[in-house]
Amino acid sequence: MTRSPLDRSEIPAPSGIPRYAAVIFDFGGVLTTPMDDTARCFAREVGLPDDAYRHAVAVHPTGRKLYAQLERGEISQAEWNTGIAALLGIDSTNLMGRALATLRPEETVVAAAAAIRAAGLRTAILSNSMGLTPHNPYAPWALDTCHDVVVFSEQHRLRKPEPEIYELTLDLLGLSGPECVFVDDNSVNLVPAEKLGMTTIHATDPALTVARLQRLVPHQQ
């Protein structure tokens, strides 16, 4: 029987010894409401089929290439706006900002992250960047204030699931993989973390994510 990352993570630590020192969170779809919901809302707003925007950025070969280039900092958000708008046949003005207009904090997970940090563990953000200018999608979350380490892919010319960006995050935390829990909504991004010894949580539902965090790193919310 194939065991899930959660099964693997629940091996108890020796009595009295904290097993983990940090939790590393993805941003979109973990600390936020689902990205697919936001994509559908935007498509409807501009009069396109529900799946049109998501298809353009996540499935269409040109759109996927543009997103990878944005995440690595090889193109600007403005250039991404122009390229994706051309695929969709819509206005490019502040496209990223308009597309993310309905994105909101996933309050239960945000609260769990704060409680984990208050309990004495370190917290970090490891996010494939959506660009920082002209629209900064991260600003409402005050990530630099709320977390010990923040890694945006574009600033390091790396992106998940490239192993080097996970190693960089561990280096900035001053920790090893087995000392960390990693949370991401994309299962592909969990694989390099597991290879580095991290315990992983596939964030498919906020309530389940919080319950799994509570099991691994007990905290008071």
- 158-191 pLDDT, tens digit per residue, is 999 999 999 999 999 999 999 999 999 999 999 9
Mean pLDDT confidence for 96-101: 97
Task: Name every residue whose Cβ is closer than 8 Å to that of residue 101 and which is 6 or more positions away in sequence.
Answer: 38, 41, 42, 45
Peptide bond into 134 cis (omega under 30): yes
Regarding pTM above 0.85, the answer is yes
Q: What single-letter amino acid sits at 182? A: F
DSSP output for the chain = -PPPHHHHHTSPPPTT----SEEEE-STTTTBS-HHHHHHHHHHHTT--TTHHHHHHHTSHHHHHHHHHHHTTSS-HHHHHHHHHHHHTS--TTHHHHHTTT--B-HHHHHHHHHHHHTT-EEEEEE-----SS--TTGGG-HHHH-SEEEEGGGTT--TT-HHHHHHHHHHHT--GGGEEEEES-GGGHHHHHHTT-EEEE-SSHHHHHHHHHHHS----
Is 204 buried (19+), middle (13-18) or exposed (0-12) by CB count in 10 A? Answer: exposed
Mean pLDDT for the stretch of residues 148-164:
97
- At 157, the amino acid letter reads R
Average pLDDT for 129-154: 96
Please state, rounded to an integer, the average pLDDT across all residues of the chain.
Answer: 92
The per-residue pLDDT for 18 is: 54
What average pLDDT does range 65-94 have in this prediction? 97
Helices 206-216, 107-118: inter-axial angle, 10-degree rounding: 10
User: Are the C-beta atoms of 102 and 41 separated by less than 8 Å?
Assistant: yes
Note the pLDDT of residue 30.
Answer: 98
CA distance 47 to 118: 44
Question: Predicted confidence band at 9 (pLDDT cuts at 50, 70, 90)?
Answer: very low
Q: Which pLDDT value is given to residue 13?
A: 45
Residue 143 confidence (pLDDT): 97
- What was the pLDDT predicted at 220? 78
| Residue bearing tokens 């945000």 | 110
Q: Which amino acid is at 109?
A: V
DSSP of 122-156: EEEEEE-----SS--TTGGG-HHHH-SEEEEGGGT
Beta bridge partners of 200: 182
